Structure 1
């Protein structure tokens, strides 16, 4: 059961952290079949959706049948793996990890649902438009922004 982490990087202005809002945050991904290599169109998974895996092997956040080879595979968000992006550290940081069985996420797209917070704790709902978001913090009298969104998947070791 391979474990794969989603790492993201943002360029920010006057933002301390960025995180997924709520357990129903949707991770929009393209998935590659581990059997034949077919890549899906965009699909999403969230922690609140659970589906029973055939053969009584528990639950998963997404179960897919490959359109090309017909193989059933599944993916789940690992409990306790969601983390906020720390803008002070910068660079690529893992924000979530997935338990992948028979498939692998290969591309991530942020379609909203992020919350950005300032050093003073003021929160903003981030809706990226063309990969960018801009707003103004009236309390601190300064602009805030999130730009240059990048992502990568990394295979993880251990549990």
Structure 2
């Protein structure tokens, strides 16, 4: 099953919101995970990086995330399909997929925006880094544009791609 991480947010003065996700500085995507066999949801958040791989038991395969359900004892896996897409500024804001996962036996049911995000000044091309979206909003000042910039009303959704 292919799932996507989608976002909708109000971007004011910035565009191209994206996770800071490079081999030198990998982003750890944080999710709640649910077993599709027994529907048990793991009580804790789990993390995965698209640059890490783990062996899948009983196969030659590897995956970015491997998880064994404590309830039904089945092992499941997920892979990030490609680098994250950036979220452009639009008025009104539109929901857009920024990341896709190929999931085997599990579903991601909730996302937490831990980690560093990046954005670019809409008119000025100023590079903003170190953006923290844990509280669902971010405010800064664009020196080149001479105005406040912000990301507000951030909503995450995990959905079928």
Decide: shared fold, TM above 0.5. Answer: yes
Deviations, residues 19-65 of structure 1 (Å, cap 9, x unaligned): 11123111110011011111121011111111011122411011001
Specify the alignment match of 1:63 in structure 2.
66
Specify the alignment match of 1:35 in structure 2.
37
Which of 149, 157, 161 is 1:152 aligned to? 157
Specify the alignment match of 1:141 in structure 2.
146
Return 5+ residue gaps in structure 2 as ranges: none
Specify the alignment match of 2:8 in structure 1.
9
Secondary structure of the 1:16 match is: strand
Say yes or no: does 1:123 pair with 2:153.
no
Q: How many residues are paired up? A: 154
Find runs of 4+ consecutive structure 1 residues off by over 6 angstroms: none
Q: Could you tell me how far 1:17 is from its partner in structure 2? A: 1.6
Deviations, residues 74-129 of structure 1 (Å, cap 9, x unaligned): 1110134x200011263110000000000000111101311011122211121125
Counterpart CA distance in 2 for 1:115 and 1:79 is 18
TM-score, normalised with respect to structure 2:
0.90
Specify the alignment match of 1:20 in structure 2.
19
Q: Structure 1 residues 26 and 62, CA, compared in 2 at 3 Å: closer, same or farther?
A: same
How do 1:86-97 residues align onto structure 2 when only pairs under 5 Å count?
86-88=88-90, 90-97=93-100
TM-score, normalised with respect to structure 1:
0.91
Counterpart CA distance in 1 for 2:75 and 2:87 is 33
Q: Structure 1 residues 30 and 129, CA, compared in 2 at 3 Å: closer, same or farther?
A: closer
Which of 42, 49, 53 is 2:52 aligned to? 49
Counterpart CA distance in 2 for 1:47 and 1:37 is 25
CA contact (8 A) 2:82 2:99 kept: no
